[in-house]
Amino acid sequence: MTAWLASLTLGLIQGLGEFLPISSSGHLALAQHFFGWREPELLYDLILHLGTLLAVFYFYRSNLWSLILELRLLPAALLSPSKMGTYFRIRPDFRLGILIIIGSLPTALIGFCFLSTFESLFASTRAVGLAFLVTALFLAATRWAPPTRAATEKAMTIKMALAIGLIQGLAITPGLSRSGLTIGLGLFLGLDHHLAARFSFLLSIPAILGGLILTLRQAPAISLSGWETLAGFAVAGLTGYLALWFLVRVIKPKRLAYFAPWCALMGLVAFFL
């Protein structure tokens, strides 16, 4: 029963924390500590991330299909700089797809070079607590984000994509909220809050898939049974979809700061542990 409770609880935490700006990885690290797991279940965490990834696929299914259709033009564009420039300038979905690829580069570099360093932080509740406090300060600061300057994909730039991809890479740290930092930075860069959220969650797709590949190479076997793991996966996917719907449809740009007190509280709890 303890294993089932742990799996369902961690699935719920992952589903809520992946999209709400409260850091799913930080909450997972603290919850695993609470359940007495001496070593972090890194592969299990990635399976939970796959559950929430399915939520992203379903929620943004029309956007993803448009991106796939547009990126079929990429091979021809790579052979012709003029075509690449034209497509990037006049085709919003092609531009968004290219920006997601570009934004994934710093995330991939950080993950490939420093994954083991970030993973070691899962065992340190003080490191997790400090990261929670950084998230809280960042979320609180979004109340002073500048007015929107970029409402559509046509206004997004390569520098914006690189900056958001870089902060996503740093959010591998448990306690740093990937969604909070990427959406918040998008707001600071002048993106419309719907565009910032959409880019953030689409950018998470290659990051999660890449993290799974890297973790599969070195993670130990999961201590939970197949059915227990599947239950956590399902709960993560369902609650993740609901949290994603809530964040995109309900939360307004300045309201990211409402989650800052919770992250600050979790930071203090982590220090206490």
Q: What is the pLDDT of residues 18-62, one digit of tens each?
A: 899 999 888 888 887 777 765 556 677 778 888 999 999 999 999
Identity of the amino acid at 185: L
> What is d(CA 165, CA 24) in angstroms, rounded to the nearest whole number?
18
Identify the CA nearest to 5 among candidates 24, 27, 31, 38.
31
Distance CA 81, CA 87 (A): 10
Q: What is the pLDDT of residue 222?
A: 63
Residues 6+ apart with CB under 8 A from 135: 21, 22, 23, 26, 175, 176, 177, 180, 181, 260, 263, 267
pTM value? Answer: 0.91
User: What are the tens digits of pLDDT across the range 200-241?
Assistant: 999 999 998 887 777 776 655 666 677 888 888 999 999 999
